Structure 1
Amino acid sequence: MILTANEILLHQETNKLYRILWIEENNIIVYLIDMDDENEKALPFKRKFQEIQDELITGTLLKQKEDPYFSIVQQSPNTKNISIRDQAWQLIKDIVVQEPKIYEKHNRTKLMASVQAEQSISYPGLRKYLRKYWQRGKNPNALLPDYHLSGGRGNEKQSGDKKRGRPSIYSSIGINVDDETKKNFRFAIDKYYLNNKKNSLTKTFEFLLKEFYAEDFYYENGILKMKFKDENKLPKERQFRYWFHKEYSTKEVLVAREGSRKYGKDHRELLSSATQEAYGPGSRYLIDATSVNCYILSRDNPNWIIGRPVLYLVVDVFSRMVVGMYIGLEGPSWMGAMMAIANTAMDKVKYCSEYGINISKEAWPCESLPEILLGDRGELEGYQPERLVSAFNLHLENAAPYRADWKGIVEKRFDVTDQKVKPFLPGYVEKDASERGAPDYRIKARLTLEQFTSIIIKQVLAYNMTHYIENYHRDGDLLEDNVEPVPLALWNWGIQHRSGKHNYFAEKIVRFHLLPQEDVSVTEKGIRLNSKLFYSCDRAIKEEWFVHARNKGTWKMKASLDPRNISNLYILNEKTGDIEPCFLLDESKRYEGLSLDEVKYITAQEKIMRSGLKLEELKAQLGFMEDAEKEAKQAEKESNQNRSSNLSKAEQTKSIQKNRQYEKGARRKEEAFTFVESNKTAAQVIPFSKEVQTDDFKRPSIKDLLKQRMEQKDE
């Protein structure tokens, strides 16, 4: 453990600071002094070097970098203070250099006595100079007077009966600003000044007088004037202003009068440039989106105007290089931001070739993720973006609300892009679009999304390779190597000299982790998502997931899904790092090719339909219950009227089979198919003789049968 003179040590238990004054050459003895201001008799004492080392190792002592006296010894003193300092220095300069002799008490007493013999100074006075010199860093400026502690600067003065300050010559006597007056001041400022009406301080002072010091109004020569309670007891406007500037900060006033949004945008402090936040390429990327001022057409039908596309740009802070982009109809949203972030990790040669643009690897050498990504709160907040943190150790930062200036680099890039491509875009929306008589720029649209993307890619390439960045703050290394403030030149230099912040990942891995994750359940019917979608995959079949689920119970897992097309799920094999695609099973094939929103809509509509049909079914069921109950009661009533009441249970049940056979035969005759029309007149039967007696051939009732049996039994 290395120790040096003037180092400061903090004792963890007592919270005291000690300054090292001198270390013996063979590292045996160390002299220190207590830096506590309140201890005026603090003097040097010695300790063993090894003891201090041991306490530093165990953490009892800590090295303190901040010097509490730094601001005092580094100040620019005035002539008077310099004189006082030099006088004190002359007294001790010859004895403080006699180290370590001056640190031993008996030697120090002799040295101080010799100074006293030559100079007119007391022993306590001389000891005070020595203490200040040692405690404050063995610097002559340590002897400067502590006038900054004098006068009670910043402390409230107590009000008395006598008026403080210079007597008034031209006006009334005035008053001291006491607690009651301050209360009145605060009320007036809060009510009349700290609001969006933006009254001046003079006007606020007038409201103050009217509110608290007016007694009445009177007319004089036709002019209404105010009458004060006592003109000799009025506060002065200068008192009011003095107290206001003392009590209220500039920021507090601006926020109250302008609003926090406007303050953050137009009035906040500008303490650093964006470039100072990034050491090299990849340290920090900025992402933002804007709707392009140009209408485009559908690629499938040139008669369809599909509105204005959304442009996403991802810009490296250090080099101002456009490292990723996306142009589409998504957003501004996480879905659009996801596409732009994925593009940052994409091979740009491959990307440009998709639009018929041939470039070399050196023309756009960006295919990595940054250390920090700054974007809008709406796009980078929430669970899904947080996956970037866990998967890629990518730190996310959100710009504060209404603070687009935090992303000034990428905002400026939008402006430049807009101006560069504006002359060549049919359907571009000019500023006069909303004015009366202005042409309808929508009907001038001629570009498809693919054609528009091709134009923007070419403009981005030209910007990266040739754009001169105004007011770029080149540090010493950049100046020494004479690096041009052009994005590609800054990027290449930074990769060579300040690399290490980039994170390289395979494009498919980046795409996988950018996709939203959903909770899925492994069941005997498949991998279930949202109760309607069932998937399977080769791994699940090979490892018999669904057999295990049926016999040992279901379990949950995470799967990635592109909500724009739910035909596939993607599962990461944590052991091999492979991405396993899952396909829809036959039960869910009807949803193939749909988006997750469409599936949710269909499911919701089916629930609405089911709810409506269930209601109709319930109505019908309740109606059936009412009808059946009524019919059953009627049947019961009729049956009770015709049934014999004196039959036993055995008598009612012993002939069930016989009765069933009889009933079956009768019903067969009734139910037999016949092709004779029922509306023909039946043949008339003529009896042989009028004297012939006709027997009643009707089937006897059960009552009659039972009666006959009883009679036979009696016989």
Structure 2
Amino acid sequence: MEDNSKESMIPLNREQVDFSVGASVIHIPSGKNYKIKRQIDFSYIECQCSETGRLMVLPILSLSKSNNSLQVSYPDLNSIEPDDWKEAERRYNLILPLLNGEISGRKEIDEYAKNKGIGRATLYRWFGVYKATRSVSSLIPKQRGWREGNSRLTFEQDKIIHDVIQEYYLSPQRLSQHEIFNQIKIVCSQRNLTRPTKNSIRKRILSLSAKDVLYGRGQPKKAKDKFAPKAGMFPNVLYPLDVIQIDHTPVDLILVDDLNRQPIGRPWVTFAIDVYSRMILGYYLSLDAPSEIAVAMCIAHAVLPKEEWLAAKEITGEWKVWGIPKKIHVDNGPDFRTETLRRACLEYDINLEFRPVKVPNYGGHIERLVGTFMKETHKLKGTTFSNIQERKEYDSEKYACLTFDEAEAWILKQIVSVYHKEIHSTLNMSPTSKWRDGIYGTDYEIGCGLPHVPANPKTVMLDFMPFEERTIQNTGVTWDGVRYFDFILAPYIGLRGEDGKARKYIFRRDPRDISIIYFLNPDTKNYIPIPVANQNLPSTSLWQLRASKKRLKERGLKDYNEHQIIETLIEMEKIVDNAAAQTKKMRRMRQRSKIHQKNVTPVQPIEKQKRPENEAPIKVDGLLDTDFIQPFEDIQ
């Protein structure tokens, strides 16, 4: 059985490395602490050693969070109780004016705290914790029972307040707060309930958003003027990463398989674009239809540095883009409306916004990007063009010649060497120049500074991955009929909760490779990879597993077991291999399986078997990440 040592554990760490002037960082190769003095470019930063006072120029990617940072225990996002999420969101909304700089100064903050019914010290404490972690989950209550800021109201009292506010306060009659107090008093008296205090009712009213209040109180024009986007522009986009857009599209190109160079159909690509600069932040190419995992991989790729990714794909050029966006704008597809995505975005302080119906200025940037890329694919052999009329008598499958890897290399070169460099018609400059100006500023505008980098990339990817809650039995844990086991699960076998029912635990997985799932250890708050119990199971994706079950059902087997599933998977794999050169569907299945088995992610861009953990760091532009540590005076 696989040995799950400490090295295999994935700690939950949502800290971000701050590159702003004055921030403290640690240089990973030397272990020394530094203070940032000057941002030079997207590759190097001038720092001052805390021990010697000497100025040094260090590679950005060799820096991490300082050891002096606040130590926080991060929970899994889907293990947090709904009431705790609500409380964390309430606290976050209360400190938001401080974070945005809308209120400042002790007197103004004291007045604000008083109006909100909370202590100034409490407000400062929440503000400090969030500033140190940039994590909404750090604001969840730390102990059970009644907590400061929570409601002591009964369920009946709470419901009365909610119903009266909805019916009388959020109405065109626009009743005053005093009239709302009286109405709640009357309803409680009629039901023989103790009336809530005015302060409790006032807190609930003050927690309403200004937009909801205006619409609810019959002032839609005022709400629209204040909050609706203006024609021809996307609202509130002042800097890079203010708003990004994500969408999927089938690529107008027929691919061929690696083995026989026979057609296997069109791939799907998911793009993330920065609205301010039009820079492409990330992408995800796949032979699978759009899904939750495509969104997760694209977001992870967008927020992380790209140096190792380009090196793994053997692409020359620069793609100096990373950072957590403030807002992600998407369409209304089901893959964007998952609870996992909602919570992950909330945790990273990302506003997940869905495209309004029939509002043309929303979504235009990503659509134009897709159009630009598809137009370029029409120059390639095997293109399907945009429609039948345009394709006419062109035989796309006959001329198809690019494999999946070759198509991905073409897309990367198009991003790095063409799209980012060309003058954008709307910007009147290249996306690269616009990104640089937004970060570092110009003679006329102040830049926003280098974005933060996630301290633990694996945590980012896991946060956006699909999850399930499962019980642990003496045979391990079962998910979709497949059993997983490791002795690390032994202490949790058969445990029951306070309600007497079997306790459930959080597990996550990558649907492209279900031979491993990730167990959230409730004690250490680390993710631990748990292998499939039956090692005869071939490297399998979720879609292959479902196809296997479907095949068993077609044979009339309803109560099939794990061994039958594995036998069917192996049998299907042989069928696909034998038929790979005969039908396009089989060739596509074979190629898709091959891609999944590589297990390439934005966190690990090289196949596992090709890059052991003890292998030396990858060279980027001829340098190792441990090579570049120069005294400041040496580069003058």
The TM-score normalised by the length of structure 1 is 0.42
Give 1 or 2 for the bigger CA radius of gyration. Answer: 1
TM-score (norm 2): 0.47
User: Which structure shows the higher helix fraction?
Assistant: 1
Q: Which one has more relative contact order, counting CA pairs under 8 Å at least 6 apart?
A: 2
